[in-house]
Structures are given as structure tokens and as C-alpha cells.
Amino acid sequence: MSDLYNVLLELCTARNITGYRMCKDVGIQPSIMTDLKMGRRSGLKAETAQKIADYFDVSVGYLLGAVEQKEKTPTPTERDEREISDDDIKFALFGDKTIDDETYESVKNFARFAAEQKRKRQESEQ
């Protein structure tokens, strides 16, 4: 397993996507991830590396392990947790901010459960 594969896997995990989804979104063959994972490949063509770096909004140097990312870009989940209040969520889900705490906790627990199930499915796909 190459260091590049580990970086890509970390970036995919931060975005809550699979390596396959990233490859499809970028327009490259999914077998690239498999080859990196199995050690049949240790690098990428410059054009491919640039496409992936652009997709994740990181430098090619970071992607290839040559430089550290200066500032961690928050994942969509981290960004949303900072910017969205409980009242915003209650209003989005129920159309009213006055939902009782027990119902709201049940909804949050279900969301955590659904996210965990999705993470397990993604792990089993890889």
C-alpha cells in the first residue's frame, strides 16, 4: 500500500466518499485506487495528480507527500457544525424552532445511526 493511497483514502474519508466515487467524479479509472492499494502502482501521471488535487482543493505536493497542507480545510461536516445552530436544524426539519428536546434528540440519534451505516457500507466496498 503506497503513501499516496493513504493520503487519498484520508481525503476521501474526510469528504465521506469512497475512492470509487472520487475516481468517477474526477474522471479517472477506479482501478488506479486498487493498483495504489495493492502496491502495483506508487505514483500518478502529473495530469491525474492535478485533477485529484483540484478535486480535494489541496496542492499536488500535499497529495504526493512532498509538503504538508498549510491549513486544514474543514470538511463539509465540520463546516456545517460550526455554522448551523440547533434552531436552524429544527426549523429545517420541522418548520418550527419549538420542537421538544426528546424528539430532536431522537432525530439526531437517527442521523448518527444513518451516518455510521453509510460509513460501514463504504468500508465494505473498499
CA distance 23 to 10: 14
What is the set of domains in the chain, with CATH numbers? 3-63 (1.10.260.40), 84-125 (no CATH)
State the 10-residue block means of pLDDT for the chain, 126 residues long: 84 89 91 89 87 89 71 49 61 72 80 81 77
In one-letter notation, the amino acid at residue 95 is G
Predicted pLDDT at 83:
55
